[in-house]
Chains A and B, each alone.
Chain A
Amino acid sequence: MPEPQPQPAAAATATAPPPAVTLRELTRRFGDFTAVNRVSLDVARGEIFGFLGPNGAGKSTTIRMLCGILPPSSGKGSVAGFDIATESEQIKKQIGYMSQKFSLYEDLTVEENIDFYSGIYRIPGAKKRERKEWVIEMAGLADKRGARTATLSGGWKQRLALGCAILHEPPIVFLDEPTSGVDPVSRRSFWELIYRLAGEGVTIFVTTHYLEEAECCDRLGFIFGGELIALGSPAELKRNFPGEIVALECERPFEVLKRVESLPGVRQATLFGAGLHLTVERAEAIIPLLKEALPDQEVRLERIAPSLEDLFVSFMEARSG
């Protein structure tokens, strides 16, 4: 469990601006099921915060509570200084939200969708044209202005949806798995947009289950089974990893997996690419043991720095085990 963050009141010194997003013991239950369980964290202004976790971990539920469209069961949260339970309508003026499901009107054209959201956000006339051109340029839709949204491919839809969500230039943006189901090239250009926004000082709260995307974030929260089980920058998380990682390359990794996972000192063994990653107490001590245990195999053993994937696999195993 991460250390609880300091309360915003305590942190509000002359220099530090209040965080863009705060969660305190935020909880959401659906009947007997606890989707989000006492999650506490802060997101600083201008930060790209990655909310990471497998499907069903509580990512979307959390983001919906922060956007003011799902009331929390208990705990507190604030966005742009407004309480998520009592001031949700003020929050909605400050945020852009892109839900997990594609949420533009498929029977409307690119321009009609943009115009609709311009109207919803009451963007004044001159500004409206400027923002529209900005979105079309940003999403690379210049020659698709009049196309029905239904005919666009995934990457374009995603960028258009992002464009519509930030037409009104909100200081805080919530993106719920914005790149799921999108090809790698589109994902890459989507993340370039996110960087561009962050560069302009926009706070980004993004959920994902892609680990390479997680590496792009300033800070990460890892949620599993509704609980926040790790919080920090990618580098911090790796540094604080309890244990060491040994990479094992061999001929038949699946066979080897069964033989090594019961060895003393091996906390965990996982298939990783063409080989195995072993989580161990101390690499130096275990490598000779492993060689001994696998005399019939031509194995290569190497101590490596943990990747985010190693981290999260071990977090998850620790939780569910």
Chain B
Amino acid sequence: MKLKRVRAIAHKEFLHVLRDWRSLGIGIAIPVLMLFLFGYALTLDVDRVPLVVWDQSATPQSRTLVDAFNASRYFTMLPAVADYREVERAIASRRAEIALVIPVDFAGKVAAGRGAAVQAILDGSDSNVASFALGYAEEVVGGYSQKVTVELTRRLGLPAVSGALLKVEPRVWFNTDMESRNYIFPGLIAIVMMVIAALLTSLTFAREWEVGTMEQLIATPVTGGELILGKLIPYFAIGMFDLVLSVLVAEFVFRIPMRGELWLVFASSSIFMVGALSLGMLISIVTKSQFLASQIALVATMLPAFLLSGFVFPIANMPYPIQVFTHIITARYFVVLLRGIYLKGLGLGHLYGETLFLAAFAVLILALSHVKFKKKIV
């Protein structure tokens, strides 16, 4: 391994990237685009669910409940309706995701301190939204009933019985405002890194074979290790540039809270980057075709990184064989790492397993690339 050769190769690759707007585009424009696109669009929060109310009771008690819904940021009130047919229409036309039906005897039951039920009708065709909306509705109703209970006990002169007030109060850790973007964004950084890294390097060796420059190179004393390292350096620099960009966007555009240490983000990303870049390189070395290599790199990185990394879809909900399969998806570990650092402020003490796996993967793929690269034409 001669430094001079590595430097010559790295310098040459830098020039290629700088002069080829396509690779510069893949390297910088695509990550930025992905960060903003997914940052804004890929939110799992169910906010401002359109709600329609059929208040059959029309009493001060029922109006207090409706007001509680009105005050909640989770719901948007549609004009009240007056019969079941209208409720049906609102749900069917998807104007409303949820309908609240307050029965005629609502006020009486509440005043008497007996249990009163309200009906929530949900559009199950989007089960995700439906379950969120139901949860929100239960929360609002729960708040209301607690208030009523407190008032009732006071009026009846009973001592405030804590038991009567007991209700499940979920407490959310780490992502206290349950902002799904906070959860998604660190994962998104991982996905962006994975995709661009493999795509960028998937072209390098294949291009030299296709253009014919490789034939010249392999007739020189240059070694495979020097070539691989020399080609790795500029793309690693691009990857790190993208990481800085991502961290800045996370901080200043999306205000993702950062509870851990920044250097850990960079350290773990470096390890991950080497693995992802080497994977692209390995694909390039094996296929010797730019088209094939970029297709394989996309399928081998983008799809698993999106679907199987736990970035959006929780791995725990996957069928068992697929759960097992996710263990070989490096993005999965990187997603866990970044979320751990960003949301939980975890240190290496908790994340060494994932870090070790990424390091082992990088070493393995680098070694494979080295073995697979032959200074021969066939």
Contacts and interface: CB of A to CB of B under 8 A. Distances in A.
Interface stretch (A92-100, A219-227, A237-245, A283-291): A92-100
B215 interface: yes
B221 interface: yes
Interface in B4-23: 4-5, 7-9, 11-12, 15-16, 19-20
Interface string A93-116: 101011101111111100010011
Contacts of A92: 219-221, 375
Nearest to A93: B221
A68 interface: yes
Nearest to B223: A89
Contacts of B7: 119
Contacts of B175: none
Contacts of A70: 376-378
A30, A68, A122 — most chain B CB neighbours (10 Å): A122
A64 interface: yes
A71 interface: yes
Contacts of A120: 5, 8-9, 217, 220-222
Contact of A116 (B12, B221, B376, B377): B12
Nearest to B2: A122
B16 to A, nearest CB: 6
Contacts of B215: 64, 69, 99, 101, 103
Given A99-B212, A107-B15, A116-B12, A71 B5 contact: no
Interface in A98-152: 98-99, 101-108, 112, 115-122
B220 A107 contact: no
Point out which of B12, B216, B375 has the most chain A C-beta atoms below 10 A from its C-beta. Answer: B216
Interface in B137-161: none
B15 A67 contact: no
A9 B9 CA distance: 41
Contacts of B212: 99, 101-103
A93 B375 CA distance: 14
A108 B220 contact: no
Nearest to A96: B219
B219 A115 contact: no
B8 A118 contact: yes
Given A102-B212, A108-B15, A97 B8 contact: no
Nearest to A108: B15
B64 interface: no
Nearest to B8: A119
A217 B80 CA distance: 100
A71 B217 CA distance: 16
Contacts of A105: 12, 15-16, 213
B218 interface: yes
A16 B50 CA distance: 98
Contacts of A93: 221
Contacts of A103: 211-213, 215-216
A158 to B, nearest CB: 13
A116 B20 contact: no
A97 B219 contact: yes
Given A69-B377, A120-B220, A115 B8 contact: yes
A142 to B, nearest CB: 22
A93 B377 CA distance: 18
Contact of A97 (B5, B9, B16, B216): B216
A71 B308 CA distance: 43
Given A107-B19, A120-B222, A122-B2, A99 B11 contact: no
A119 B219 contact: no
A155 to B, nearest CB: 19
B376 A121 contact: no
B11 A116 contact: yes
9 contacts: A69-B376, A88-B375, A92-B219, A92-B221, A108-B16, A116-B12, A118-B8, A119-B7, A120-B217
Interface of B: 2, 4-5, 7-9, 11-12, 15-16, 19-20, 211-213, 215-222, 375-378
Given A105-B16, A120-B221, 20 more contacts: A30-B378, A64-B377, A69-B375, A69-B376, A92-B220, A92-B221, A97-B219, A98-B216, A104-B216, A105-B12, A105-B15, A107-B16, A107-B20, A108-B16, A115-B8, A116-B12, A118-B8, A119-B8, A119-B11, A120-B5
